[in-house]
Copies of this chain bind each other. A is one copy, B any other.
């Protein structure tokens, strides 16, 4: 393990440049004895002289020549470290790992990624679609920088900002078009198709109907909103979907979309990140962008 310091290298670089202790010292804004001592010390550590102190001039030894080129490479590399910092500083750039729940991802993510990429050229976005519980774990483990989930998550270590509220709408077979829209109690009597266990959207829908999740119910579970809507289209039952999913999911299926009267079921979608994350300022800024994108997406949908 060497004890060479960057100061020694800087002084030696200056000395090699000027061929003169006094002027090198000036260049380094130090006194002449200081540089003399540092160079001597460096030579002792290396066990070999670097400069030949002539009567009227100092000249590098052969080894000193080799040494100074290597030393300059190092000094340059160190200076570039500062640039590296400046390059990646402040601005939104580099890798951003974002997790989104499956009942949001297909409808919002393409727009988010598009907008963010357009706004921030140097941004390298990695997307992960997964259930809330898994997203939270990955957030904690540092596998994700942020996530978009339904609030609240109520984790003290996480910051959560609300993005928007979204209503749930009823999806029923096209044939039911003219029937009155059921209320939450009426809904409980119908054959309600839901996502499988683990999706927060399932719990949110159940809670609207005042049904205990644990209660054994005869429901047919679909694995994606698409599947659910397809099944509704074949007359198997009814389902709820977030309104943002309406344009995409009901495009090619004969189903009827009906809004509920008050109290309208809805959930709050938000963005979360670790309070300790150094990206926090950037993430807050990003959350503004996401909110904009979402508002746009929802006005288009409505």
Contact = CB atoms under 8 A, between A and B. Distances in A.
Contact of A73 (B6, B52, B77, B89): B77
Interface string A43-77: 00111110011110001011100110011011001
A6 B8 CA distance: 11
Copies assembled: 2
Contacts of A95: 62
A77 B84 CA distance: 18
Interface string A73-94: 1100111111011101110001
Given A2-B79, A4-B81, A276-B52, A88 B63 contact: yes
Given A70-B77, A73-B77, 10 more contacts: A1-B79, A2-B81, A2-B82, A4-B78, A47-B90, A48-B278, A52-B277, A62-B88, A67-B85, A74-B77
A118 interface: no
Contact of A94 (B62, B81, B279): B62
Range class of the A interface residue count: 35 or more
Interface in A228-265: none
A198 interface: no
Contacts of A4: 6, 78, 81-82
Contact of A59 (B49, B84, B89, B142): B142
B73 A278 contact: no
A81 to B, nearest CB: 6
Interface string A1-23: 11011100000000000000000
Interface of A: 1-2, 4-6, 45-49, 52-55, 59, 61-63, 66-67, 70-71, 73-74, 77-82, 84-86, 88-90, 94-95, 142, 157, 274, 276-279
Given A66-B88, A88-B48, A94-B63, A276 B81 contact: no
A77 B77 contact: yes
B157 A47 contact: no
A89 B62 CA distance: 11
